[in-house]
């Protein structure tokens, strides 16, 4: 089973949920954690895995043989990202804008364009106890997260409970992180920002056709707007975590709730039970 | 002969937009008779490559010179390849910038003045 933990707003508690759920389940089940927040991976700070291997993630960027180039501009026309441009008598490439789609190669009538690999990040793999762990790290100066996210997602092992820590927001990297999951947990907080971004995230998971539920973190702060929204939209609220200064301090030290305060395991076991029921229910109605 | 000026508004009294790739409008002016055409910059909101896109537009319009505020590295490379002269002005009206250009009071910019994504920060 693949469970994605996402949120619209950042800083709502995705990693807290993902890591503590993983640690709780790992007592009885084979678990894998994939941190797909390749711009700022942080699950490793809490699970403290030992990394064993590093794999390079590359995209292919165009290299132009100017002698064969007619300066016809077909490559420029097809490139949605302005990564290749015929300007005057020259053809310029801007590798940092390239998404590696290969469109310019197909468009070129003279075969003047070849591809060369460009490193855009790495996937690091290891173990935290019995938890199999992988995360992606985007190379500095590279804005293209999705191929690194996809490389991390390819590591998913279906025989394990796979918990995905997604990036915040609703952009391509989030879509790539959560796509194909059996269930998506959306972590939010009861503030205007929390609701605004939750609405965006709900729009995204609905478009992707993913079953999902909401977790309200710091649930005793702010107001009741998240609960009212979820009731109106018939979205299940799977868990509410009131603000707790000790948990906040523990987080700041890189500690895990279920390790420091084992009584919390019950909360995450309940969450897992609830998740299984939700996934089972969703499967039943889709069959 | 046409001169492209980045502008915050749609007439010659508007202020020159200090951003190139993410300017609001391009004003294309014939310096001989000061006849001009205003074109909205459709690339102003793109997530990346706005400078290259703007350079392609300016080159495609057949402009021989560009007057703007700041210019980044990719746009500069693209404009250089197209033999478009680049001039920079501090905040002033499009009309004034054009007058200074015609009086040869503007110095050409020879290399990028700002880093990438300058225009996204304001």
Residue from A85, A95, A100 whose CB has the most chain B CBs within 10 Å, to mutate: A85
Where do the domains of chain B lie?
Answer: 2-121
Do the domains spanning A2-57+120-286 and A66-111 agree at the CATH topology level? Answer: no
pLDDT of residue A287: 64
Mean pLDDT of A12-33: 97
Q: Is the pLDDT assigned to residue B93 strictly greater than 60?
A: yes
pLDDT of residue A280: 86
Mean pLDDT of A13-39: 98
Superfamily of domain B2-121: Dinitrogenase iron-molybdenum cofactor biosynthesis domain (3.30.420.130)
Q: What is the pLDDT of residues A133-185, one digit of tens each?
A: 999 999 998 889 999 999 999 999 999 999 999 999 999 999 999 999 999 99
pLDDT of residue B107: 85
Assembly ipTM: 0.83
Spatial distance between the Cα atoms of A133 and A26, rounded to a whole number of angstroms: 12
Q: What is the pLDDT of residues A252-277, one digit of tens each?
A: 999 999 999 999 999 999 999 999 99
Spatial distance between the Cα atoms of A162 and B10, rounded to a whole number of angstroms: 55
pLDDT of residue B3: 97
Determine which of B6-10, B94-98, B103-107 has the lowest per-residue pLDDT on average.
B103-107
Strand, helix or coil at B115? coil
CB pairs under 8 A between A and B: 42
Q: Give the number of other CB atoms < 10 A from CB of residue A260.
A: 12
Looking at the structure, give the CATH architecture of the domain made up of residues A2-57+120-286.
Answer: 3-Layer(aba) Sandwich (3.40)
Which three-class secondary structure string do you get for A68-110? CCCCCCHHHHHCCCCCEEEECCEEEECHHHCCCCCHHHHHCCC
Task: Tell me the fold of A66-111.
Answer: Alpha-Beta Plaits (3.30.70)
> How far is CA B75 from its chain centroid?
10
pLDDT of residue A65: 96
Q: Is the pLDDT assigned to residue A233 strictly greater than 90?
A: yes
Mean pLDDT of A121-132: 98
Taking CA atoms, A267 is separated from A46, A60, B84, in Å, by 19, 46, 65
Residue from B43, B47, B48, B56 whose CB has the most chain A CBs within 10 Å, to mutate: B48
Residue of B nearest to A171 (CA): B47
Q: What is the pLDDT of residues B23-74, one digit of tens each?
A: 999 999 999 999 999 999 999 988 889 999 999 999 999 999 999 999 999 9
Which of B46, B48, B59 lies at the smallest CB-CB distance from A87? B59
pLDDT of residue A21: 98
Query: How close are the terminal C-alpha atoms of chain B, in Å?
Result: 32
Where do the domains of chain A lie?
Answer: 2-57+120-286, 66-111
Could you give phi then psi for residue A196, rounded to 5 degrees? Answer: -55, -45
pLDDT over 70 for what percent of chain A? 100
Q: What is the pLDDT of residues A210-228, one digit of tens each?
A: 999 999 999 999 899 999 9
Q: Is the pLDDT assigned to residue A3 strictly greater than 60?
A: yes
Mean pLDDT of A235-249: 96
Flag if B81 and A97 touch (Cβ within 8 Å): no
Mean pLDDT of B81-109: 94
Spatial distance between the Cα atoms of A86 and A200, rounded to a whole number of angstroms: 38
Spatial distance between the Cα atoms of A185 and A191, rounded to a whole number of angstroms: 18
| Tokens matching residue B42 | 């459709």
* Average pLDDT over all residues of chain A: 96
Residues of chain A in contact with residue B46, where contact means CB-CB under 8 angstroms, are 82
pLDDT of residue B116: 79
Query: Which is nearest to A66 in space by CA: A38, A88, A98?
Result: A88
Flag if A94 and B83 touch (Cβ within 8 Å): no
Q: What is the pLDDT of residues A43-88, one digit of tens each?
A: 999 999 999 999 999 999 999 999 999 999 999 999 999 999 999 8
pLDDT of residue B121: 67
Confidence of residue B122 (pLDDT cuts 50, 70, 90): low
């Amino acid at each position: 089973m693949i469970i994605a933990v996402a949120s619209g707003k950042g800083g709502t508690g995705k990693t807290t949920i993902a890591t503590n759920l993983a640690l709780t389940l790992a007592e009885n089940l084979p678990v894998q954690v994939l941190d797909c927040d390749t711009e700022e991976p942080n699950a490793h700070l809490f699970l403290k895995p030992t990394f064993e291997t590093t794999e390079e993630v590359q995209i292919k960027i165009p290299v132009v043989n100017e002698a064969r180039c007619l300066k016809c501009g077909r490559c420029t026309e097809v490139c949605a990202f302005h990564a290749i441009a015929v300007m005057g008598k020259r053809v310029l490439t801007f590798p940092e804008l390239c998404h590696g789609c290969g469109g310019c190669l197909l468009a070129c009538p003279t075969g003047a364009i070849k591809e060369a690999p460009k490193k855009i990040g790495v996937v690091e793999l290891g173990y935290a106890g019995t938890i199999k762990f992988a995360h992606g790290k985007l190379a500095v100066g590279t804005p293209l997260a999705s191929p690194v996210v996809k490389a991390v997602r390819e590591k998913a092992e279906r025989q394990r409970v796979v918990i995905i820590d997604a990036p915040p927001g609703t952009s391509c990297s989030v879509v790539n992180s959560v796509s194909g999951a059996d269930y998506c947990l959306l972590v939010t907080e009861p503030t205007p920002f929390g609701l605004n971004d939750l609405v965006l995230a709900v729009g995204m998971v609905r478009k992707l056709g993913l079953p999902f539920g909401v977790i309200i973190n710091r649930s005793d702060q702010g107001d009741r707007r998240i609960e009212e929204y979820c009731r109106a939209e018939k979205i299940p609220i799977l868990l509410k975590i009131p603000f707790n200064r000790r948990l906040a301090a523990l987080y700041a030290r890189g500690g895990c709730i279920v390790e420091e305060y084992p009584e919390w395991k019950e909360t995450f076991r309940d969450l897992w039970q609830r998740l299984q029921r939700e996934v089972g229910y969703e499967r039943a109605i889709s069959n | 002969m046409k001169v492209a000026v980045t502008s915050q508004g749609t007439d010659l009294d508007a202020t020159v937009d200090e951003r190139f790739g993410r300017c609001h409008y391009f004003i294309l002016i014939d310096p001989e008779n000061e006849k001009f055409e205003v074109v909205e910059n459709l690339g102003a909101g793109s997530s990346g490559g706005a400078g290259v896109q703007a350079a392609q537009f300016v080159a495609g319009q057949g402009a021989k010179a560009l007057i703007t505020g700041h210019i980044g590295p990719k746009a500069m490379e693209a404009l250089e390849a197209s033999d478009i002269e680049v001039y920079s002005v501090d905040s002033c009206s499009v009309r004034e910038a054009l007058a200074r250009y015609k009086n040869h009071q503007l110095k050409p910019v020879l290399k990028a003045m700002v880093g990438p994504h300058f225009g996204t920060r304001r």
